[in-house]
Amino acid sequence: MTIEQNYQLAKAQYEKWGIDVESALETLKQVPISIHCWQGDDVSGFEVDQQELSGGIDVTGDYPGKATTPEQLRQDLEQALSLIPGKHRINLHAIYAETNGEKVERDQLEPKHFQNWIDWAKQHQLGLDFNPTLFSHPKAADGLTLSHPNKNIRDFWIRHCKASRQIAEYIGKELGTPALTNIWIPDGYKDTPSDRLTPRKRLKDSLDQIFSDQIDERYNIDAVESKLFGIGSEAYVVGSHEFYLGYALKNNILCLLDTGHYHPTEMVSNKISAMLLFSDRIALHVSRPVRWDSDHVVTFDDELKEIGLEIVRNDALDKVMIGLDFFDASINRVAAWTIGTRNMIKSLLYALLMPNDQLKAYQEQGNFTERLAILEEFKTYPFGAIWDYYCKQMNVPVGVEWLKQVQQYEQEVLLNRS
């Protein structure tokens, strides 16, 4: 049977439940995923005096073909985007500035250092998001930045974050779509601290200074990101979930939830509806932790499906800004982007094809038997036939056909890089 025939049969099954499949596909087309550039070069960046990766994060593996120039990274992103259905965004870190061989300190970065990214994004009709980079730097070597007891070090990072917001505002204005500027810091202690409060006071003061600059919200959206622990900050992090949740709510900025930044028994999917009651919008970094925040490539697992369901059944597709954050150097990096992003989109389609109103009604009526039975039944509904049709509609490879293109790209491009 053809893809079209399989689609029509599957569509008929879903329509028995009142699900408008064509409407679901049209909705899905409008949802952008912010794809992180750092998967393509192992979070290295392009600074003149490139530092070793630090900040409680690590990339393992040495698969051939890592991008070592901005041009190579953009080329790899273009290849991945050609295999992913929909129009999306690219998420940049400040270390991806292009300074033409000149050493420019992070607190001196300007919009001009990202003009090539902006021009490229215009060419490909992509939005851009942004992150100040508060790791892999001599002034972050002891694991403290915005909460550092040394005022000179704090001030350096405050200036860097202010510069980043100005860069993001320029990006948003140039591209006609606001950039999400997300602040994450590695600050914390390896062993049990004797004072948890003072570093948090310093962090609050630093953030207050950063956000005191008036930036046009039409072009820049601010977010802060928490973490449970990292390598070297196992006992205590300054920017905990509770800290940033309180700060975001009080200051009317977004709280960004990274799916790898919580205790293994905590599910980000369970936090979405609670936070949307008190925030107009929230942001996500979708990753896959394996025992810790190891940033594995996103797979189509139960938690990813649940994240998609929580966004869709709560009518929050325009309230949740979805980004990705994983980095695996043990496999083909273009394939990693493709697998992870396609899976994120699959989770949203899966949720759009559920009889969400009926399931809500069962719960409200106390019909828990019916609710469980239907939830389980839909796990084997012909979702794959709808996904294949969507990919064909969007002119990207169906099934694993994309893998042939990645393998060809590897042979022709990646393996020829020195």
Could you tell me the residue ranges of all domains in the chain? 1-30+353-418, 33-345
Among this protein's residues, is 280 annotated catalytic? no
3-state secondary structure of 122: helix
- Reference 225, options 284, 172, 281; nearest CA is 284
pLDDT tens digit sequence for 236-276: 999 999 999 999 999 999 999 999 999 988 999 999 999 99
Among this protein's residues, is 258 annotated catalytic? yes
Among this protein's residues, is 227 annotated catalytic? yes
Q: How far apart are CA 313 and CA 326, in angstroms?
A: 26
Res 53 pLDDT > 80: no
Q: Domain spanning 33-345: which CATH class is it, in words? A: alpha beta
Among this protein's residues, is 58 annotated catalytic? no
Point out the catalytic residue in the list 107, 129, 174, 225.
Answer: 225
Res 56 pLDDT > 80: no
The CA distances from residue 333 to 62, 325, 406, in Å, are 10, 13, 10
Predicted pLDDT of residue 48: 85
Sequence-ordered list of residues with C-beta below 8 angstroms from that of 20, at least 6 positions apart, any chain: none
Among this protein's residues, is 285 annotated catalytic? yes
pTM above 0.75, yes or no: yes
Q: What are the backbone dihedrals phi and psi of residue 321, each rounded to the nearest 5 degrees, phi first?
A: -90, 115
The CA distances from residue 355 to 19, 88, 388, in Å, are 7, 27, 20
| Summary mean pLDDT of the chain | 96
Among this protein's residues, is 293 annotated catalytic? yes
Read off the pLDDT band of 150 (50, 70, 90): very high
Among this protein's residues, is 195 annotated catalytic? no
Point out the catalytic residue in the list 41, 76, 222, 295.
Answer: 295
